[in-house]
Structure 1
Amino acid sequence: MDSFFMFSLIRDISNGLSFIHNSFLGYHGHLTSRCCLIDDRWQIKISGYGLKSIRSFEKPNPKDLLWTAPEHLRNEQNERTSEGDIYSFGIICSEILTRSSAFDMENRKEKPDVIIYQVKKGGHNPMRPSLETMESVEVNPALLHLIRDCWTERPSERPNIDQVRGHLNSMRDSRKSNLMDHVFNMLETYAQTLEEEVSDRTKELVEEKKKSDVLLYRMLPKMVADKLKLGQAVEPETFEQVTIFFSDVVQFTNLAAKCTPLQVVTLLNDLYTIFDGIIEQNDVYKVETIGDGYLCVSGLPHRNGNEHIRHIAKMALGFLTSLKFFRVQHLPNERINLRIGSVVAGVVGLTMPRYCLFGDAVNTASRMESNGKPGQIHVTADANRMLTEVVGGFRTESRGEVLIKGKGVMETYWLLGEQASVSQRKNRTPESPRRPSIRSISPIIEQKLMENSGKGLYSEYKDVNNGNV
């Protein structure tokens, strides 16, 4: 309840009490808050008046005497008066303002008999209820003074009901005369506030859902993530033809040994952030990264016909181009391999589920990656045929036959670039010769470094699928 609501209740009680005092009854005599009833229009009606002869034989309950004026407590045989009703009116007003019972008996240790005795005792500082209200409620100070005048010790000093009504009318806000209109305005304001709060909470929920969806879609394909959110099982699916991409950083172990762990993490984060931006420009799905290894695939989970080889090839060429502008103390060289084949894709695990690929094409690609050379894009014969004969627009060069562990001798190729970019490089004016790198000066050292690097990252990781170690 706000201040106007409280004031309206007090005004209704004064109006009802004024009717009784100006009638043949003359006074109520037993006015308490229990006699104040609220109807369906939020108006207070006073009950329990009259029947003086019958009530004279009743033994009053000590709790009912908390509203009784001190002069009637001292002499219960005396007839009740209108001044006593004014005292009871002040006690009821204190209940309305403090939102508590008379004398706040629920939070007191004293019993009603003790309170009645102290009220009956009187004195210069008689026992009266507290008028401390909540900080959120603004009460007119004049109303507090009126209540104190109503329960003053001497009955002659108490105002009559007409004076009480006059003081209350002077405090009334002329703009607010109807309690029902005020209640409806309160409900309307509350509904608007609630609607705005629900709208704000809904917007926050939608934003948080978008953030969680973005994070989930970065971990799993969208169609797979949507099924998991609906509680549906994701069955493994076979894809007849996809292009698999493998890459790693050459001599990453030696590079990591010369850097702190924080520097290694920063290096890979910067490098793969660039790669992720290039992936977004193509229809390619990033499967996972383990250490310096980078695994991507095109053609799943969204089938794109024969365009999977084109998207992977453009992405691989974009990776190599981006390395020209990537500046760190030790510039990494990438070994890249492309392989075409069929795979089975599915979600593995319940805790931190992962979308994994299985099949001979995955194993072959991981083996070829370990046999690649720095700064070169290594492709299989099937991938070469797709690049040059099916989709076209790319230039390749035969590497010859290479011994691939577990697969035997395979003919592989280097992807040089797109047709337009290759012809432009041929027509370009030759540049002044550069100082040879260490690799071109000493191919023997290069071969030793390649041998020391051992198998590619995914060779041992994916060999488990074929039972090879």
Structure 2
Amino acid sequence: LGRIKIFVLKLSNHPRWNDPKDQRLSPCTLSSFLLYWVLLAVLTLPRSVHCRTYKLGVVGPWACDPLFAKALPKAAAQLAVDRIRKDSSLDLGTRFDYVILNEDCQTSKALSAFLRFSELATGFVGPTNSGYCDAASFLGKNWDRVIFSWACVNHELDDTSSHPTFVRTLPSPTRVLLSVMKYFRWAHVAIISSDQDIWVDTAGKLAAALRSQGLPVGAVLSMGREPKTVRQALRKIREVDKLLIIMCMHSVLIGGEEQGQLLEAAHDLQMTEGGIVFVPYDALLYSLPYKNTPYPVLVNNSKLQKAYDAVLTITMDSKQLSFRQALQESVRRRELETSIKPEQVSPLFGTIYNAVYLVAKALDNNRKHRAWSSGANIAKYSRNVEFNGFNQRIWTDRQGLVHSDYVILDMDGNGNELHCSHVLDLGADLMRFTGRAIHYPNGDAPRSDPACWFNRGRICNGGKVAPVSLGIVLGALISIVLAYFIRRRVIQLRLVRGPNKILLTMDDVTFINPQLSKKKLSFEDSRIGDGRMSFSEARSAKSAALSSSLKSLTPATYENSNVAIYEGDWVWLKKFPYGDFRRIKPGTTAVFELMKDLRQENVNLFLGFFYDCGLLAIVTEFCTRGSLQDLLSNQDVKLDWMFKSSLLLDLIKGMKYLHHRDYVHGRLKSRNCVVDGRFVLKVTDYGYMEVVEAQRVPLAEPKVEDFLWTAPEILRKLNPFHNGTKKGDVYSFSIIMQEVVVRGPPYCMFDLTVEDIIQKVKKPPPVFRPNINPDHAPPECIQLMRHCWTEVPERRYNFEEIFDQVTGLHWGDGSLPPAPLPPPFFRSVSESLKLGNTVEPEHFDQVSLYFSDIVGFTTISANSEPIEVVDLLNDLYTLFDAVLDNHDVYKVETIGDAYMVASGLPTRNGNRHTAEIANMSLDILSAVGTFKMRHMPDVPVRIRIGLHSGPCVAGVVGLTMPRYCLFGDTVTTASRMESSGFPYRIQVNQSTVKILQDLNEGYRLQLRGRAELKGKAIEETYWLVGKDGFTKPLPVPPQYKPG
């Protein structure tokens, strides 16, 4: 605009622009002079001249339905637009116009056409077909176009958060019907419609809306045009106890032939002789004239006249002028063509007029609030407006609800006029009786239903007699009780059978003779007393075990042992010495299922619950090195700072995981931290208090020394043993940290009794904590310890912060435990690493992975010297490595007894990767069948193997001590295939099976069945049992019994 003004100044020879050098813009000609005045006139035009046109699309089946066409939508919209333009109170800020948009009478085609209407209109009045109102509203939301509709039924459309661009131009038909039904207490409803889509869909939506209000809507039927189909529909309705029949079709009073057929058929079936009321639905959508308005259709058909005595018409009221009088007035004013005859026009004309005018009022309101003319804003500002409709007053409230009075019209069965009996004021929710009673056929008014049908939130028996209701209630109670016992039985079976078995019995475990240890394992020595089989005790049991091999272990009784063998591994039973163990309570079962889901390297694995012979015990993995307290007190074990920091980091990881899963330990101490054969620390006794509370087991009085690890704020409570908190766990960790740092009991640097220490901690000032010599640990470690035992719980770190602190510190010379040695890399990776460069990760579309481990390795380690375990793994992996040399495979890594191999990377080999892995697995399994341990030659080494094929990403992690690692779901699934397998078995996933079958090289596979993979869905897996031409002997696997 600024550039145009400058241009005009130049053209006008303004002194500022009178530049003799610029001859191109000199106004020396008449044409330049004229151009100047034209541009000036354009700039001075009013703003409204430049505004865009707001074009309103009036949507309806105007072309396919002659009765809808009788509403004269073009004339109605034009009349409204003409009056809007003349209304001086309206300032729309835009040119207002309309376009008539035809929708098909079939819902699907109507919706398809509506999709194209976005290019033709800025806003819409419609749709008329309620079958696609939801879709139209969502489309309007997406287009940001407002939707004004009188025909939509769904109450969900009133939710402005989901439908911000939808507006009703009439009160909801459901709302009007509910008000009338509530007044007369008519709850039982049937709905019948013509076979046109527009009315069938309306009937379905109306039924859903009434049912959502708790009303017993029975039959919802549609009828054809044949008299036979009409009678069939009415007979179905008559079979059910119905008081109100809503007719979704064109009213017979405006030319609807289907409704005339329906009423005449109802008369023939004696359904119009009292007790049943018929209500025309379409009259709710307009103002049907009734004052001094005869309807010839009732005079010319005596049967229909008598049948119409059973009809109550609910329609919009017109206080001053009826629809026909208002139409005649418009014709008289020359606003409409003089050829229009009011008696031939559908009253829907007025509804269309009112809708268009409401849009204009919304635009005016939107402009007054200086809001952007978006669909949502126009819908928002359609609220709280009032205007004179075509022949009645229309207003909306602050919630957007449209208000207008309705009347109930009746006839006496003899005349041809309708009379008003009641007026419904929706704004006040009030029904007023006009003094003229409703004339029911034969004086037989429909019976009233119980008022409870209209009280939301109450259950209504529908007026049935008390014994029937009592029988229904008793039947429901019996069903609930039976369902409870059946569910309880199913849960019990699931606990003792299948892969998710939690409850163990004497049939599942074999107790190890307590003679294997130096002293008898009793309740005082068990973890109930927070004791643990020590490292030295486990070592002393070894000689007895080896003398007769694992199979010759003499079974002990549950009364004198806490150690047992379960599925080939040693387990520890933490017994509950007191309580009633006749049954497992439901709350205890829920706790078990939650504990079973805890899987983390530094959390001692919960295996189940032993429940047999009146004994209750928690079953966990047995850790051969005993508790952390045992390890710290064993002077034969050398603990440098690197070793100590590794133990502390394991403890932090375990507690971090438990707190992340919202588990509060509450009893954390060094006796509840156990160490396995690989010197990995694991947190145990988690969930103990939850089991105690769920099973209601009485606890033995705790020893006073057990409170050395308890936080001061918990000590001050009445029952500190039952009040664990996450901050209390952090305090307990700091005391354990002191034990590890000084390698001594809590507060060992003070010459005080346990009772005195606890009293000093419990009742400051001064604050009493361990005194650590700075020579025992790096200053960062001591600072972290002090931060964790601070007196104010809120100032203590959580385990997330502790982990971040520890991994970010370098404690002394060692820091964290060293990383494992890197595997041998292929040449390209080696060269890059030598140059100090990073190696870009690479995606492989298809590889095959092998995982294996030794079944019972924990038990073997517990009965072996460390050097013997090293020799075992070295001999076994040397054997495996020799097998690998004969196949196109790549050894990824070994972790403990786990062995991982891949094929198809780093060098791709097409589909051969699956065959190479399968052939290698068979060779390894054959070699293991004859393998002997040097120190235990009579004990077989049993491995389980898992294979899986799929995509993965491979790359080198780190520059110092780098490792070539594989990532992706394929790695996880392959590991799960191994861990869910069985000894001397090769378990194969379906993806691998498909490739092996495509290769057609004679691999023999057996269906295992459906196996549950941890963290995965239940899948069908297979056993690889051989190959055509493979003649090497394979070890015989143990028999597998499903379940």
TM-score w.r.t. the length of structure 2 is 0.20
Which has the higher relative contact order, 1 or 2, with Cα contacts under 8 A spaced 6 or more apart?
A: 1
The structure whose residues are more often helix, as a share, is 1
